[in-house]
Amino acid sequence: MFNASRIISVRPDRTRLVILVKEPVPGTVKTRLAKELGTIDATKWYRNECRKTINRLARDPRWDTYLAVSPDKAGMSSRAWTMQIPRIAQGSGHLGSRLKQVFRQMLPGSTIIIGSDIPGIKASQIATTAKAMQKYDAYLGPSPDGGFWLIGHTGRRSLSSKALENVRWSTEFAMDDTINSLGQFSVGIGEVMSDVDTLADLYNNPHTRL
């Protein structure tokens, strides 16, 4: 069983890949999808997609993988994720607050954070990002809806108190607001990928199936 109080040791010479996961409890995950698909089926889809993402990316030797879990206590001791991957707590607050907490736990060095609901994501895309982001302070992988599926921070410059604040999350302004919040950071833009929030997203994504 995982202990939320344990100390995470990071290697500054290695890229860290952090996958955001939420305890797959019906009614708490994929709520927009659940309204159309049903709560149980939406939860099953999310759990299966998380496992596929973890299995596809976590064993790659080119980076060190961590799971950032939510809720903190339940996630740290969860049996939903069978691979013995180091876990950290996302913490509380809005998405920006939680992303900053994850980045700070991963210092020093470069960290890439992704969601767990991006069908078709490949290890090659993470490798490309890890290389490309070294030219910048931060890096974003855009989504067609105006958000982003990936955010990276090289750690060379500290995130300010204004970073990732006043962002209109879950809107078409999320990525632009995020870039604005980073101030003088140089920001690289990567490949467009789609996550799944609605039934239309599920049907339109070539990498998904029920």
DSSP of 50-93, one letter per residue? HHHHHHHHTT-TTSEEEEEEESHHHHHT-SS--S---EEE--SS
Domain count, the chain: 1
Residue 20 pairs in a beta bridge with 68
Per-residue confidence (pLDDT) for residue 121, from 0 to 100: 95
Instruction: With respect to residue 8, please indicate whether it lies within any of the assigned structural domains.
Output: no
Per-residue confidence (pLDDT) for residue 133, from 0 to 100: 97
Instruction: With respect to residue 139, please indicate whether it lies within any of the assigned structural domains.
Output: yes
CA distances from 89 to 10, 22, 31, 102, 137 (A): 15, 10, 22, 8, 24
Per-residue confidence (pLDDT) for residue 8, from 0 to 100: 67
Per-residue confidence (pLDDT) for residue 209, from 0 to 100: 62
Instruction: With respect to residue 45, please indicate whether it lies within any of the assigned structural domains.
Output: yes
Per-residue pLDDT tens over the stretch 47-75: 999 999 999 999 999 999 999 999 999 99
Instruction: With respect to residue 11, please indicate whether it lies within any of the assigned structural domains.
Output: no
Instruction: With respect to residue 4, please indicate whether it lies within any of the assigned structural domains.
Output: no
Instruction: With respect to residue 210, please indicate whether it lies within any of the assigned structural domains.
Output: no
Per-residue confidence (pLDDT) for residue 4, from 0 to 100: 43
Per-residue confidence (pLDDT) for residue 103, from 0 to 100: 97
Per-residue confidence (pLDDT) for residue 210, from 0 to 100: 56
Per-residue confidence (pLDDT) for residue 166, from 0 to 100: 97
Per-residue confidence (pLDDT) for residue 2, from 0 to 100: 41
Q: Which residues of the chain have pLDDT under 70?
A: 1-8, 82-83, 208-210
Instruction: With respect to residue 193, please indicate whether it lies within any of the assigned structural domains.
Output: yes
CATH, residue 107: 3.90.550.10
CA distances from 29 to 59, 195, 209 (A): 25, 14, 18
Range of the domain at 43: 16-204
Instruction: With respect to residue 2, please indicate whether it lies within any of the assigned structural domains.
Output: no
Contact between 191 and 139 under an 8 Å Cβ cutoff? The reply is no
Per-residue confidence (pLDDT) for residue 82, from 0 to 100: 66
